Amino acid sequence: MSNILHVNLSSIGYLLDVPSTLSKPSKRWHLAFATIYCSRALHSLLNNPLSKNKTRKLLLSAPPFVVLDVEPQSGVLDIDQTSLTSLVKEKNLDQLIQLRGAEGVAEALKSNTKNGINGAVKDVARRKEEFGSNTYQRPPTKSIFHFVAEAFKDLTILVLLACATLSLGFGIKENGAKEGWYDGGSILVAVFLVISVSAVSNFRQNRQFDKLSEVSNNIQVDVVRQGRRQQISIFEIVVGDVVFLKIGDQVPADGLFLDGHSLQVDESSMTGESDYVEVNTSLNPFLFSGTKVADGYAQMLVTSVGMNTTWGEMMSTISLDPNEQTPLQARLDKLTSSIGKVGLAVAFLVLVVLLVRYFTGNTEDGNGNHEFNGSKTKSDGIMNAVVRIIAAAVTIVVVAIPEGLPLAVTLTLAYSMKRMMADQAMVRKLSACETMGSATTICTDKTGTLTLNEMKVTTFWLGQESIEDSSSISTNLLKLIQQGVALNTTGCIYREPSLYKFEFSGSPTEKAILSWAVLELGMDMERVKDNYSILHVEAFNSEKKRSGILIRKKAESTIHVHWKGAAEMILAMCSSYYDASGSMKDMDDGDRMTFEQIIQGMAAGSLRCIAFAHRQIPEEEHEIGEGLEKLKEDSLTLIALVGIKDPCRPGVRKAVEDCQHAGVNVKMITGDNVFTARAIATECGILRPDQSINSGAVVEGEVFRNYTPEERMEKVDKICVMARSSPFDKLLMVQCLKQKGHVVAVTGDGTNDAPALKEADIGLSMGIQGTEVAKESSDIIILDDNFASVATVLRWGRCVYNNIQKFIQFQLTVNVAALVINFVAAASAGEVPLTAVQLLWVNLIMDTLGALALATERPTKDLLAKPPVGRTEPLITNTMWRNLLAQALYQVLVLLILQFNGEYIFGVNKKVKDTLIFNTFVLCQVFNEFNARELERKNVFQGIHKNKLFLGIIGITIVLQVVMVECLKRFADTERLDWVQWGACIGVAAASWPIGWVVKFIPVSEKPFLDYLKW
């Protein structure tokens, strides 16, 4: 018996192994045959008379069921990627009809048009494996060698390398390989060190931009999986997903339109055509990745992702350009160019003086002999001397040109970008970092920025009565309210099958209304939807401030219009109302005034007031319901009023006060009515309690729009709150403020805010509620939608500007001192006290370590105690000129004393004297870095313990300087110094601290310093 069973089971196993090469009909015949064979085999076992008991025992010991997992081996799904890609890319309607429309494609993709894909980890993984992930290949990241090569393109570096190579060749030829490589080799090592540091800095900055690009592209998308609506990363979308789209969204992948209303898509990013394309089920159900939703809402079925989309192919060739030049960098380039010209002039003079002195026999070698003796001097010696002189002159140019300024800007911007990310602000455009420091006006939204965006229905009115108990509402009125809520919404409800727990999704207002209708009014959204078919939808946008829907009741074929939106706008469309008992009454002027007072009362309590209205369309007015394109907007019946509370964010009042204290005006621009706007603005500190609606500080958008241009310009500064504003009003205000010379920052979250965000000097979009269109139009994304983060961005903007000024003061001090000491020494003594290697070391301290130390100072509270920096204010202020000239004068004086009397003062030889000059010069810069921390404040040590990087760099600089002087005698051309000499160098350098303290008592003029030099 067991042999028979074994044979039968073997046969069954063979039969169930469906060959992958068979066609679909053949597979079905194969499986049908297998099923019949299995049933007959099992039947024969049960009816075998020879060993009934054994058979029963065997069968009873087995499980009471058989699980057959029959799965075609050729692939997971019933349609291949090539077909899907060509279907959408070629807009092939015929092929779509053959596949039985979007529903047929969904079925082939093992997806459900309502509930989406299964969403299990294995299911998602299989789809990624079969159809690819929603990512695209990026151009390869620039390697560090690319930046090394870029550094070699600097002309001064190339000249130095040529000089070093010649010096190396002549030195080895003259003194042999053992001794002759030091001069040229030292310059080569120093140059390569400077190049390496520059390349590493640029490489790190480039990597940071790559990371920024990844973060900014990581959009959150609404999908439904296993019947549950949820947000996932755009990179996690797979073929078969059902995605929800609304106004302002970016289409995350190629796909097909499933369901929705009034969907218009901006395909200009793909086609260049500015006209919106209508997408619907019948004529154009195709959606393309990277396009933007301009109007309406929809659900789409994803058919292609990543590199299988046109957008993916296009984006794989585009990379974020980190070389964007900011306005501050452009100004610094001019400054660098001006200083460079002075440096070139000084270097040329030094070159001429040194060459003249050499060829006239006025220079001596280390043994006191004349270096040039006419024809007696060997040509190699002449060439070596000339190369050494040229190298010295070129090195002066290297030190004179403040190459560290662009690096300092890059470092401080990169550092501030990283820190701002931690402070909930993502910078999309570098220029915004520094421009924000100059902002004089911030125009902010209310909802979600000043408020928490956690909305809840707290007040409910039927007719002219406030309703506390929903059980008293009449049945017909309850049905109308439920229709208006359940059908006229872009939100949805998910309920856990096993739990009496609801999840609401959509905008905060939609979630609040849905939550109230379900939990308070007992609404069953699915049942309401099943009883009605939607004929036409007018989606909500920030201009209309309402949404409408045309529906037909399936059982009765009656047609209804429902409107929902801003209470006073819906009220204006009504000619009757339902009272609390459900009876319809005509609305006279007295009733209308009563409703207006109810709305104003709710608004004064900081509530957002939403109204619901309805009208049944007579048959004669609407014989063909599907043909009606415009919903009735008059003779409506008011159903109900609800008040939604959105509390102010904690800490927002303090943030507003900080901005006002910093000389920045905060204006609130909102779509809410004037009473709600005034109440919230007063609560946040934007308005004083004594400022009434008629004081000129509060204005409605329509009123502002209707002012003459002259009136607008006259009144715009006084306006603190603009209520019931449209995106056009916001744009108009920004333009007026800019015309008056303000630097304007604007917050926005809607698609229609894009023009104002682009027009503003700094566009700030909201990371949570902001649409993709708004984010792409902005310069900075506020990740937590919080106004306090806007104040933080303001502080960081000022910090960037302040840090750059600190570094300019520090760098110019070194430039002035180095140029003067080298020129005077060359002109008088025929030699430069600082060698090429020593000057390159000073250059490294200034350009890289100095920039790193001063450019990474964090913002302090004092920054907001100053007024904004104007557009035309000079980069180098009178305060900076005072500080840097005092320090440079002191350094030049000390170094010239050492140059001419150093040997006598310390009783040392020329080599030790030159080392003393070099050591004192470097230590002066180290001590002056502390002075540069504060431009105006006398206490330069305040908060220094918090900046570990600054202290670390100071420590590293001192250690490296000790190594240069004490250990690298041949390389740096130095002599060892004793303790007394080190003490003298430190003492002279430390004197810069008291000098810096005393100098800050000297008052400075308001007129810019350079204006005195103009004729």
For residue 772, give the amino acid letter. E
- DSSP-H helix ranges across 520-558: 525-531
Residue 538: name the closest of 526, 523, 524, 549 by CA: 549
743 closest CA partner among 870, 884, 843: 870
Quick: pLDDT tens for 862-912: 888 888 876 667 778 888 889 989 999 999 999 889 888 888 888 888 889
More confident residue, 2 or 752: 752
Residue 403 CA to residue 406 CA, distance in Å, equals 6
pLDDT at 302: 92
1015, with CB counted inside 10 A (0-12, 13-18, 19+), is exposed
pLDDT attached to residue 404: 63
Q: Using one digit for the tens of pLDDT, what is the confidence trace for 678-736?
A: 889 998 999 988 777 777 889 998 899 999 989 999 999 999 999 988 888 888 999 99
DSSP output for 475-526: HHHHHHHHHHHHHS-S-EEEE-TTSS-EEEESSHHHHHHHHHHHHTT---HH
Q: What is the 3-state secondary structure (H, E, C) of 655-709?
A: HHHHHHHCCCEEEEECCCCHHHHHHHHHHHCCCCCCCCHHHCCEEEHHHHHHCCH
Residue-level pLDDT at 1011: 63
783 token code pair:
């990740």
- What b/e readout covers 140-172, taking b as 16+ CB neighbours within 10 angstroms? eebeeeebbeebeebebbebbbebbebbbbbbb
Q: Which of 81-85, 129-133, 526-530 has the lowest mean pLDDT?
A: 81-85
pLDDT digits (tens, 9 = 90+) for 27-67: 566 666 666 666 666 666 555 554 444 444 444 444 454 45
- Report pLDDT digits (tens) over 808-846: 888 888 888 888 887 787 777 667 777 777 877 887 776
**Whether 119 contacts 174, CB under 8 Å:** no
Q: Is the pLDDT of residue 991 over 70?
A: yes
Asked if 746 contacts 793 with a C-beta cutoff of 8 angstroms, the reply is no
Active-site residue, from 222, 254, 445, 761? 445
Cβ neighbours of residue 34 closer than 8 Å, sequence gap 6 or more: 12, 15, 16
What percentage of the chain reaches a pLDDT higher than 90?
16
Return the structure tokens found at 46. 């049960």
| Cβ atoms 378, 436 nearer than 8 A | no
Both tokens assigned to 627: 């043909």
- Is 761 a catalytic site residue? no
Angle at 286 between CA 284 and CA 288, to 5 degrees: 135
Q: Render pLDDT for 419-432 as a digit per residue (tens, 0 to 9).
A: 888 888 888 877 78
Look at 591 and 310; give whichever has higher pLDDT: 591
pTM here is 0.71
Higher pLDDT, 176 or 784: 784
Is the pLDDT assigned to residue 385 strictly greater than 70? yes
How much of the chain is in helix, strand and coil states, percent to nearest 5?
55, 15, 30
